[in-house]
Amino acid sequence: MKNKILESCNLCPFNCHINRYKLKGRCNSTDKIKVAYYHLHLFEEPIISGKNGSGTIFFSNCNLKCIFCQNKKISQEGYGKEITIDRLRQIYIELKEKNATNINLVTPTMYVPQIIESLDIKDKLNIPIVYNTSSYENTKTIKQLENYIDIYLADFKYYDDGLAEKYSKVKNYREVAAKAIEEMYNQTGKYNIKNNIMQSGVIVRILVLPGHIEDSKKILDYLYNKYKDNIIISIMNQYTPPKNKLEYKNLNRKLIDKEYNKVIEYALNLGIKNAYIQDGNTQNESYIPNFNKKIV
């Protein structure tokens, strides 16, 4: 039976209204679920990974076109394998049987209708479901996820829409992301952590880009003024320059400690208490999943 949303797709803010049973929209997705890789991932925030690892599923394709994307092979080059909804359920169960801390759905926007259908076994899984997103989301799509998603692991990539247009080829990112995160928070409320593992709530990630610490500070201002310590903020220094040189020189280098420390100091001065920070060891390719391993 065909899904009406996929017949005129408006899952993300581009609102392509493409019939994905016949064509591909900006995200390059059809009506089929496409997955690149799944495994127990130990490099998320500690309350997400836990000791056993987060049961992470990397979906293929993306509605953003970030020129510095670490996972470009799957997000923009289409690497992955088409699977059925039944196979997706089996993957959840496999990860659960490996004692995954949670089920972590990475770049899932294009597949929300299928994910909702697959999560009819949510009660059987009995571990948190994580929605890991760029936050370039339609709020009406996020609304559909209520009662299916326990934790939202959301990026806030840019405050300056000019940067979003230049680096990710999207307009009005800030407004879209802010509304999406607000809906996420409305669903989950203040975070809940039990035995050092997050059970529900919102984590917002800020990837500090080289040369753009002021933009990161503005994001911190916005998040703390709106949510105080009811969400967890993850301030990330792991920007890794792509192998192919970009036209913007600042993106061809790693973030330097001085830049990152200024952002951390700013967060402390704001009064932020619930935040994760990273050390310099994150700035290497070992943190990028190996998509050359056996596919799904």
The whole-number pLDDT of residue 37 equals 95
DSSP state for residue 126 in the 8-state scheme: -
φ, ψ (nearest 5 deg) of residue 36: -90, -35
Q: Which residues make beta-bridge pairs with 197? A: 194
* Interatomic CA distance for residues 29 and 35, integer angstroms: 11
Amino acid letter, residue 100: A
pLDDT for 218-268, tens place per residue?
Answer: 999 999 999 999 999 999 999 999 988 999 999 999 999 999 999 999 999
CATH number of 4-287: 3.20.20.70
Q: What is the DSSP string of 225-270?
A: HHHTTSSEEEEE------SSPPSSGGGGSPPPHHHHHHHHHHHHHH
pTM, entire model: 0.94
Torsion-angle region of 227 (φ positive above 0: left; ψ -120 to 50: alpha; else: beta):
alpha
pLDDT for 43-54, tens place per residue?
Answer: 999 999 999 999
81 pLDDT exceeds 90?
A: yes
